[in-house]
Amino acid sequence: MTLRTKFILFAVLIHAVMALIAARLLTTDKIWFVGTEALIIVSIIVTVNIYRSFVRPLDLVSAGIESIRSKDFTVKFLPVGQREVDQLVEVYNSMIDQLRLERTLQAEKHFLLEQLLLASPSGIILLDFDGNIENINPSASQWLQVSLADIKGKPLWVLPNQWGTDLADLTQGEPKVFNVNGIRLFKAQKAHFVDRGFPHYFILIEELTEELVRQEKVAYEKIIRMMSHEVNNSIGAINSILQSFKFYTPQLETELQSDYENALQVCIERNTQLANFMGKFAGLVRLPLPQKQTLDLHALLHHAYYLLRTAAENRNIAWVWDLAAEPIYIQADEQQLEQIIINIIKNAFEAMEQDGRLTIKTLAQPPTLLIEDNGPGIPPEVRQQLFSPFFSTKKNGQGIGLMLIRDILMNHGFPFSLETIADHRTVFNIQFK
């Protein structure tokens, strides 16, 4: 029973008793009857005024509560000329103004946070109070290759590839640097802000790949230039001396002349091979920027096939085509792109050795090239170092093949990856964005 109902029942009961008393006085004392009737009328008038004064604050409180419940902070009340009610109206209006201001500030901060998340070049993952993924920004979505709808409300360890393992192991205040597929280097750190009195954690991801590659190139360019200068100068002088020694051949005994000439020739050839060896490194340093033009990707792939068909047949490797129905046109440097396609295919041949299967697949949207082999796959301990300068698993490898591929693709701005998937299939993926 509401307070309003109780007041009405009480007023009705009191006036009913007064009416009964007046009825008794009607037969005994008419003067008192008239006085009682006047008293009842005055009491009713006073009761109605008290009811109005009593109910008005209740109506204000009820309307205020309803507006707060519906989060409508625009409703305000006007003074009514009654001191107690006007005090209540003043307090309510002041409270509503403060709530509206706080709500506006909160909305502005939330909007600013959303814009920062969208515009940030760093990847940001917001976690809920249970440590599950609540939101991710576009940069993080692009790096993780997932959408928010796929991972919202899920724990970090469900993220693909090694992202799940690396990010789930993060400790607040301890930044971690990790490598993704041996190509891209990232730094991640975990921090928090206080939301509704509880810590709200988030993960900040920054890519260090370009900076690391730049520092690497600066370092090895200096070394290679110095080595190339010293080696070429020495080789040129030594070969000149060795060529001069050939004029002394007739002065030797006949049975020694052949061995003497062969020894000189071996030295000259080894020096020439050393010069070529240094030339490859120098060529890597002097890699020109791509001269982009419109290319037919399928035509480029078929040209590489004709160049490498004999090598595939010698190793008994089956060449499988899975090309898009329509031609794919891209903007790239023809010579550089053909060189990396040939290098990738040669690496696949060497991984399969004999009786393998090479699959060339293209996708139209987005333009993508996938070169897949069914070799033994990439060992985990090798995966993190694949594109490191001068790293090679080959017996006589120089470690510049994948390094050259990396530099050319990064100069073009083409995202790429190299990883082993199911059934030991290794896929080199290039997206021509």
Residue 47 confidence class, pLDDT cut points 50, 70, 90: confident
Work out the burial of residue 339: count CB atoms within 10 Å of its CB; fewer than 13 is exposed, 13-18 middle, 19 or more buried: middle
81-120: b (≥16 Cβ within 10 Å) or e: eeeebeebbeebbeebeeeeeeeeeeeeeeeeeeeebeee
Antiparallel, parallel or unpaired: β 198-207 and 293-296 = unpaired
pLDDT in tens, 134-152: 888 888 888 888 888 888 8
Domain-wise residue ranges, the chain: 3-101, 120-207, 212-285, 293-431
pLDDT of residue 391: 57
For 379, residues 6+ apart whose C-beta sits below 8 A from its C-beta are: none
Work out the burial of residue 288: count CB atoms within 10 Å of its CB; fewer than 13 is exposed, 13-18 middle, 19 or more buried: exposed
What is the reported pTM?
A: 0.52
pLDDT of residue 433: 78
Instruction: Tell me: pLDDT of 185 over 90.
Output: no
Give mean pLDDT, residues 257-281. 75
Residue 246 confidence class, pLDDT cut points 50, 70, 90: confident
Instruction: Tell me: pLDDT of 253 over 80.
Output: no
pLDDT of residue 183: 66
- What tokens appear for 151 in the block? 């991972």
Cis omega (within 30 of 0) for bond into 175: no
pLDDT of residue 53: 67
Q: Which CATH number applies to 293-431: 3.30.565.10, 1.10.357.10, 3.20.20.70, 3.30.465.10? A: 3.30.565.10
Lowest mean pLDDT across 33-37, 74-78, 174-178, 277-281? 277-281
pLDDT of residue 213: 65
Residue 2 confidence class, pLDDT cut points 50, 70, 90: low
Per DSSP (E only), the strands in 2-138 are 123-127, 133-136
- What tokens appear for 429 in the block? 């993926």
Nearest to 345 by CA among 405, 390, 291, 431: 405
Q: Give how far the C-alpha of residue 168 lies from the chain's centroid of Cα atoms, to the nearest Å.
A: 15
Per DSSP (E only), the strands in 44-175 are 123-127, 133-136
pLDDT in tens, 352-395: 877 889 999 999 888 999 999 988 887 766 666 666 655 566 65
pLDDT in tens, 318-349: 999 999 989 999 999 998 899 899 989 988 88
pLDDT of residue 268: 80
pLDDT in tens, 271-298: 777 777 666 666 656 677 888 999 999 9
Which fold would CATH assign to domain 120-207? Answer: Beta-Lactamase (3.30.450)
Between 131 and 214, the more confident residue is: 131
- What tokens appear for 369 in the block? 């090239």
In the DSSP assignment, the letter for residue 266 is H
- The residue type of 177 is V
Give mean pLDDT, residues 200-219. 73
Residue 55 confidence class, pLDDT cut points 50, 70, 90: low
Average pLDDT of the chain, as a whole number:
78
pLDDT in tens, 407-416: 888 888 888 8
pLDDT of residue 350: 84
Helix, strand or coil for residue 423?
helix
- The residue type of 336 is Q
DSSP-assigned states of every residue in 333-353: -HHHHHHHHHHHHHHHHHHH-
pLDDT of residue 362: 93
Helix, strand or coil for residue 350?
helix
Between 160 and 326, the more confident residue is: 326
